A and B are shown apart, each in its own frame.
Chain A
């Protein structure tokens, strides 16, 4: 853990509150994490509930304060860049399938059937990532789509793309279309040689055709829609010099901002801010981001972020032994979408609220599944259900469990990695050959799930990790593989489920919990959770898993205890940051 001055924070253990809540009354919202309250920030958080960090659990090595580095073209009101700051390299990010579909829809009003594309590759479970490429199978589909979309656009009439087509459909109009519509397709003005090359394609396509203009433009559109300038979001920076830190260009910034917050290409406002260069100013980016975060597209994007982060989108494709699950997939997803919208989008935006909300939003299927009575808007009080917030929603529980059993290790690992950013080593990475063997405890009719896993955690070589993992996982034992409440384990001699567990990860809220509801309340109180949330916002927003660049962004947020857990606040802080603005161009040694 590192303070804003670059010095390690080294508070003696126990200086924070113990954070243990009244076990008699666990389903209460702790102070400062409370009910929907628009505009709440971390400043409002009860300082007594703030965990000031722990010397043993820091993910970031201490970094000496850096000296200020001169970055040419750095906007005046940007934060200074220091020598310890690390920025992502120049890069191009392929549109996700969803972004591709949205972009085609915005440009042409055509909906393509994305289900035919290979699934997005994932990093950190996110579809927005830098590893996505155009392989031969995808390339074939993109070629087909380009041909079909170009054909349909031509058939629909090209005056929608270039008004001159209505009156003077000739080569000059084709050039106008290439320059003006092309700017929207490439999300930047076209270079002279690009216009020339596309005009050559126009001429080749028009040659000898009865409807020469349409035939020529069709080939131009086919080329544009297969080009790298369309398929990748460019984050190259403005110059090609080796090893320099450079700001993204204004057009690159507009596109990056738009795809991050909406999964759509830049709209007219953003294009204007790119054209006049004002988007380079952090304040303009903040205003644009605030505007975009109010759109319906941003709502879907925030849902997508939360769901991919916690693997909740896997509900759509989970394979469960329980035959009742298929009918619950869509209702579970709808519940989670509505919940995220109510809190992250339309509520106070805070993770702590998502973790501790005593309500959810259900249709008839989930109402019956949970045993709750929703009001007319679908909102249902969770009191008495043993559920609270996001982690006791069926989607989280089902996505983080086995096919036919609760899977305490999966749930424990999910909480540690996704909510606390505890870097758990894979057992097989351990140099000890015995630990390298990943040994899920054998099924045994005599032992409950908990008893089986408790046995394997008695191995002293496994204990160092499993004392963290298992007590978290066990606290969810009252939920089965699809997230249904259960009071008995289906196997085992002592079948009554035991949800006692605890948090043992070096925070000041460490301690025993009676069940996962108490666990959620604890998680909502430690800044470790907020910092981890900020890291995931970065991983999602930057489409990267580079830890040093991530550390630079997290340091820019200030002291751990002051980091917001508001999803919109964090997104805006990200787009305002140098981490979003700056890239490092490669040196010759870093190239093939």
Chain B
């Protein structure tokens, strides 16, 4: 007997279908707002692979942190100042940071691709990092995701693997939180069982099924709790994630307050993984995944998200209008890139701009996807209550360096950060002087994570794990204050 996975049977039994409207336009009527003045803030972490073309990201000569241009030809950030495409300019909802170093990872021996798992954890991932990524920390460990149906939603595009370098979300103790890469699975998870029914018999059957479901979860919880006292800390963390899972499953058995318009079922995709002929679908999958996440935020199904973006490898044009990308965007693009080499504020080597175009195309594509995502949140009147933290794993992709990683904070962030700025934390170091000496101290990225935790009301002075506590301690004060001059 072959058994196919499908939605939970008791829901299917209700027999009603979701309204299959394009959800994009429904957002403006469907945002679920918190009842009173204390509006919760949302956090979405976004990873884009292969680093960024820093000469088209870094603040230009003569600009200041509040007076800067991102609309020039070739600028990676131009989508954030493009009202013609995205309805409004997001320049006042952007905080670009030059000079962030993934220092905990570097010090722990994990740079380049190996740094991926360290970005949002502020640690050096061995096979996995030792602690939670920031969105899991806030949503689960700090309980800020408790009130929504899903504490967090972890999505990806094109890469379904579990290896180091393929994931950015980790739970307590560094337990891997796998990402969903199939949009239909995302739909089923977020919206598949939100089917209203007018039939009282069906409603009664549903309530009975939910009660039994809760009893089953209670039984499983007791089973785990019987094991837990006999185990050491790492094993206990593993079981704690299982207990978190049970709480998540239990929340899905509750009624949902308020009305929310549902997106349509995207249907199956023949291929979703880059290695396995998924290339031609990556663009459409990206749009769906981000659209579902925006709708889930608008419906207040979750307040924490994580997105692992794709690199468009093996995809061709895909309707993106992007042409000329190599088949393989790792070897053919990142490694082929000949960087501009800096020595302090000076350009020591010009690099080869002829090798920059393709990396820039990929970067602009991924930034553009997030601009579109911001447009959807803005339509749902959520952007001011949202913080998006977007980063790659590398500063210089050709050298797989995790120094000077172009970093973006986006959204209104409820005014917790001073947005609308392009801050130079330090000038780029010379490539052979990575531990910048003298006044040019490294800027540990952990300080961004500490500042985010504090913005979410957590009284902590450190984030991440390193044998050097100066790396993990202290908030990046430049996020909240004006007037840094370099």
- Residues of A participating in the B interface, judged by any CB pair closer than 8 Å: 89-92, 94, 109-113, 116, 118-124, 130-131, 133-141, 143-145, 147-149, 151-152, 156, 194, 197-198, 200-201, 204-205, 219, 222-223, 226-229, 232, 234, 236, 240, 317-319, 321, 326, 402-405, 425-426, 428-429, 433-434, 436-440, 442-443, 545, 585-586, 590-592
Contacts and interface: CB of A to CB of B under 8 A. Distances in A.
B245 A592 contact: no
Interface string B151-189: 100100000111100000001000111101000010001
Interface string B340-360: 000000000000000000000
A92 B177 contact: no
A134 B112 contact: no
B9 interface: yes
Contacts of A229: 223
Interface stretch (B57-65, B195-203, B226-234, B462-470): B226-234
B111 A318 contact: no
A590 B212 contact: no
A-B pairs with lowest CB-CB distance, top 7: A429-B109, A118-B178, A139-B245, A586-B232, A319-B275, A116-B5, A136-B248
A319 B314 contact: yes
Nearest to B172: A592
A137 B223 contact: no
A139 B106 contact: no
Contacts of B276: 317
A403 B273 CA distance: 16
A433 B249 contact: no
12 contacts: A137-B180, A143-B8, A144-B5, A144-B8, A145-B5, A228-B220, A236-B230, A317-B273, A433-B435, A434-B432, A443-B336, A586-B232
Interface in B2-58: 2-10
Contact of A223 (B1, B154, B220, B229): B220
A229 B223 CA distance: 7
Contacts of B240: 592
Nearest to A587: B232
B228 to A, nearest CB: 9
A198 B399 CA distance: 58
Contacts of B9: 147-148, 151
B359 to A, nearest CB: 14
Contact of B230 (A135, A402, A434, A585): A585
B399 A437 contact: yes
Given A136-B249, A440-B335, A592-B233, 5 more contacts: A131-B176, A138-B178, A194-B223, A317-B273, A442-B338
B327 interface: yes
Contacts of B284: none
Nearest to A89: B232
Contacts of A133: 171, 175-176, 238, 241-242
Contacts of A234: 227
A439 B273 CA distance: 28
Contacts of B484: none
Given A205-B212, A228-B239, A438-B399, A92 B227 contact: yes
B5 A112 contact: yes
Contacts of B175: 131, 133, 135
Given A140-B249, A437-B399, A197 B328 contact: no
Nearest to A236: B230
Contacts of B273: 317
Contacts of B328: 319, 321, 403-404
Contacts of A232: 227
A227 B249 contact: no
A405 B336 CA distance: 13
Contacts of A119: 160-162, 178
Contacts of A122: 127, 162-163
A204 B239 contact: no
Interface string B292-336: 000000000000000000000110000000000001101110011
A121 B176 contact: yes
A277 to B, nearest CB: 21
B157 to A, nearest CB: 14
A236 B171 CA distance: 24
A289 B277 CA distance: 42
A363 B211 CA distance: 55
A120 B6 contact: no
A500 B261 CA distance: 66
Interface string B207-225: 0000110011101101110
Contacts of A137: 154, 177-178, 180, 189
A428 B111 contact: yes
B12 to A, nearest CB: 11
B128 interface: yes
A525 B108 CA distance: 36
Nearest to B161: A119
A52 B240 CA distance: 47
Contacts of A112: 3, 5
A113 B109 contact: no
